[in-house]
Amino acid sequence: MNIWLNYALSLERPAFVYALVGVLFWQAAGIFLLARGSLVRLTLVMISAGVIGNLAGVVTHWYTLPATRMAGAKPAGS
């Protein structure tokens, strides 16, 4: 998810950052509520957070191509 985070920050797309905060809350709540007594449940919570985070990366970056920011750029041939 670090790669997704760096990609989102470089393209200035905050939607993934907000989704990542939600995944962080899910992981913390899941560990606190479900995984205090079992390493298997801890592993399942961590895996689910990783899968949800990667799906959030795909969803938040799938819809548009990055916009170019060139001040005063003119189309080729003009």
Alpha helices, H only, 1-78: 2-10, 14-34, 39-62
pTM comes to 0.71
Cα 45–chain centre separation: 17
CA neighbor of 20 nearest in space, from 39, 40, 37, 3: 3
Task: Delimit the domains of the chain by residue range.
Answer: 2-61
For residue range 15-68, list pLDDT tens digits in order: 889 999 999 999 999 999 988 889 999 999 999 999 999 999 998 888 665 555
pLDDT at position 77 over 80: no
**Rounded Cα–Cα distance for residues 44 and 15 (Å):** 25
